[in-house]
Amino acid sequence: MRNMTSSASARGIAAIVGVGSNLGRSIARKFAHEGYTVAILARDLGRLSRFADEIAREEKAQVFAIRIDCSDSRSVREAFEGVLSLGFVEVLVYNAFQPVSWQPTHFTDIRIDSFEKTLAVSSVGAFHCAQQVVPGMVERGRGTILFTGCSASLNGVAGFSELCCGKFALRALSQCLAREFQPFGVHVAHVVIDGIVGPSRGASTSSQRGLVGEQQSGGGDGSMDPDALAQTYWHLHVQDRAAWTQEIDLRPSSPRFF
């Protein structure tokens, strides 16, 4: 963990799981900008620490970098011991994703270990992370849990069984938690990123194509600015509890079809 400034936040902790160079980083930056102490979690601690330095410097915020492997329940528990030691986790954003081939894979060619790893990261990891923070949210009667989904959360796609099964399960988890914990003041929402996520405006990151959240990037017509997407995550967090959103689809005004 890295404490990037000396001043303490008056608000709770925002834990962003699955922070890469695009969407996860933008979400972390947005919550830091709004005054939250932010814990960013991913597998690559070196890169994560650089992001923490950058966000802390730009937003004058406390940012902590914590390594996590969402496919390993022990790693999740140890990571959240660190997160919870910082204080009450008011916000959990689960943006983790197991990379898959962007070329369709014939069903009989999918290895079982690869299938299980994708399920572990996409849904089982989300289950473990949510279990770490829900008790504190229920105790205080407030909290927000946001899950990042994608086009494959809604429709099965030939050749992408791994991705679709994991994302379908994540969506189901989101719906179950919303119905169970909304009466206790915990807002749970599923964000469907239906398109290509590019680098933030002005960034020079090279373009790649993809199907989901943190792995998507693109340029030109049809790509979405991760900073703009992060605004929606913030909006979901501050929504009036009299009218909570449980699921929202985000897509570009000029969609690019795969």
pLDDT tens column, 22-32: 999 999 999 99
At 225 the pLDDT is 93
Reported as type and span, the H/E element at residue 56 is helix 45-59
All domains in the chain, ordered by first residue: 13-195+229-250 (3.40.50.720)
At 255 the pLDDT is 60
At 215 the pLDDT is 44
At 100 the pLDDT is 72
Q: Which residues partner with 91 through β-bridges? A: 14, 144
The CA-atom distances, in angstroms, between 173 and each of 59, 118, 159, 169, 224 are 33, 16, 24, 6, 26
The segments of the chain whose pLDDT lies below 50 read 1-9, 203-213, 215-219, 258
